[in-house]
Amino acid sequence: MTLGEKLSKLRRENNYTQEQLAGILGVSRQSISKWESDSAYPETEKLLRLGEIYNCSMDYLLKDKETADVPVSKTVTLNLIKMTSYERKSKKSICGLPLWHINIGYGRKAKGIIAVGFSAKGIISFGLFSLGILSFGVLGIGIFALGSIALGLLAVGAVSFGVIALGAVSVAVVSVGALAVGDFSVGAMAIGKYFAYGDNARALIAIGDTRAAGSLFQKAGELTASDIANIKGLLDENVPVFLLWAKELIKGFL
C-alpha cells in the first residue's frame, strides 16, 4: 500500500471525514485529499501528528509492507489503543478555543469551551483530571467542582475543599460533610472556628445531637427560641465582616 492509501484507510477506520481531520491538523481539506491520492506528501510535523492520531508508527506509514515488521504484540496493542481512543473537535472556536473538544483515551487531553477527555480543560469540563468553571472529574478543580476530590468555590466530592464544600470529608469556610472542618461546619463530626452543628460538634458556638463543646455556647439536643436568639447575637458579635455572607447563611439555617 502507498502512503496515501494507508492514510485514507486509517482515516476511514477512525471515522474521520476529510474536513474533520483537516480541522484537527490545521490544514485545508484539499491537502488531506492530495495526501490520500499521493499527489502530495505531508510535512514531517503533520506526518508525526497523523501517527499520534491514528496510533501507528512511522515505519507502518512509510514502509511498503503494511505490517512494516511491527511485532504482533505491538500491533495488537496499537489496535487496542485505537479501539479505546476517540477524538472530535468543533470547527467553530471562541477566543481561539474550539466550541467543543472530545478526546477520549488514556493520556489524551481535551481543551475547549466544552472539553471531554482523560485530562480536560474548559469552561465546562469532564475528565479524569478536570479543570474549568464547571468541572466534573475524579479530580475536579473549578469555580463549581464535582469529583472524588473536588477543589472549588463550590466543591462537592468524597473529599472536597472550597469556600463552600460538601463531601464525606470537607474543608471550607462553610463545610458540610461526615467530617466537616471550617469556619462554619455541619456534619456528623463538625469542627468549626465560629460555628459547628452535628452529632459531635466543636466550635465557639457548638450544637450537638449527642455531644457539644463550645467556648461561647454549647448545647446537646433541641434548641429553644431563646437559644436561637442567643446564638444569632453571638454570631453578630464574633464573626468578622468579611464573613458576613457565611454568617447570614448560618443564621438562615437556624
* Integer CA distances (angstroms), 159 to 179, 180, 182, 240, 250, in order: 10, 10, 14, 27, 22
Grid coordinates of 235: 454570631
| Kind of pairing between the strands at 97-98 and 93-94 | antiparallel
Grid coordinates of 214: 463550645
- Report how many domains make up the chain: 2
Whether residue 101 lies inside any domain: the answer is no
pLDDT category of residue 57 using cuts at 50, 70 and 90 = confident
101, 91 in Cβ contact below 8 A? no
pTM above 0.75, yes or no: no
Range 133-151 average pLDDT: 90
Average pLDDT, the chain: 86
Same-domain check for residues 57 and 170 = no
**Lowest mean per-residue pLDDT among 1-10, 31-40, 53-62, 206-215:** 53-62
* Integer CA distances (angstroms), 28 to 12, 21, 99, 117, in order: 18, 9, 19, 25
Per-residue b or e along 31-40, where b marks 16 or more CB atoms closer than 10 Å to that residue's CB: bbebbbeeee
Same-domain check for residues 17 and 76 = yes
Whether residue 73 lies inside any domain: the answer is yes
What is the distance between the alpha carbons of residues 8 and 134, in angstroms, rounded to a whole number? 38
Choice between 79 and 32, residue whose per-residue pLDDT is larger: 32
pLDDT at 74 over 50: no
pLDDT at 98 over 90: no
Range 138-150 average pLDDT: 90
CATH code of the domain containing 61: 1.10.260.40
Query: Residue 84's pLDDT is what?
Result: 52
Same-domain check for residues 59 and 138 = no
Choice between 3 and 206, residue whose per-residue pLDDT is larger: 206
pLDDT at 78 over 80: no
Query: Residue 52's pLDDT is what?
Result: 86
Range 242-252 average pLDDT: 93
